[in-house]
Structure 1
């Protein structure tokens, strides 16, 4: 299952960005040629993230289309299907560009149960009046 290798790469990136803070969700852009699905990547991610800052986190997957250029008719198009045919003539003799990207777009941290200070007035300086 190739999803485990992709899930490991996502976990490494999430842990770097989280800097020790608990993570609830990660939004990832994955190219169509990687042939991953959100349920598949979440199953793999759940299996490898136990005990990490991303334990129980959900991966939201955005599929990035592959750009295709037909060698027969010269038509260009994009597709989220990894095994697509030319939209212009239906030929399968196509060149592809992109579609193999893997990018961690964002993470959502789990909310802290207690944050000291007054969130409406706190300017980041806990020192009171002198």
Structure 2
């Protein structure tokens, strides 16, 4: 379960950026195609934060849908897990996913 390692990484990053502060909430962006399972991340959060300034902080997960930009249609399209690298509307080949692969810290709340 790599989500535990990700949670520990979030705790490390937050405590390094906010030394000596008590963190009450951490929000992360999790892309639909990031490979991160939000349920697993949420469940390992208490263990990853134990005995840290982040212990007891709420983990807020904002899920980011996966999207692509179709140059033929000239617009961004939401895709699902069955995306085959073609536009869901016109069928043009698309090789770049524009959103949905991210895993990042969005913000923290502190005391």
TM-score above 0.5, yes or no: yes
- The correspondence for 1:84, drawn from 82, 85, 108, is 82
Q: Which has the higher contact order (CA 8 A, sep 6+)?
A: 2
Q: Which residue of 1 aligns with 2:24?
A: 24
Say which SS state the counterpart of residue 33 (structure 2) adopts: helix
Give the deviation of 1:37 after TM superposition: 4.4
- Scaled by the length of structure 2, what TM-score is found? 0.71
* Larger Rg computed on CA atoms: 1
Aligned ranges for residues 34-113 of structure 1 at < 5 Å?
34-68=34-68, 76-79=76-79, 81=80, 83-85=81-83, 86-88=87-89, 95=95, 96-110=97-111
* Counterpart contact for 2:66–2:98, Cα < 8 Å: yes
The alignment of Structure 1 onto Structure 2 pairs a total of residues equal to: 104
Give the deviation of 1:9 after TM superposition: 2.1
Distance 1:31 1:2 in 2: 15
Give the deviation of 1:17 after TM superposition: 2.7
* Counterpart contact for 1:28–1:103, Cα < 8 Å: yes
Structure 2 gap segments, 5+ residues each:
none
1:13 paired to 2:13: yes
- Scaled by the length of structure 1, what TM-score is found? 0.63
Say which SS state the counterpart of residue 46 (structure 1) adopts: helix
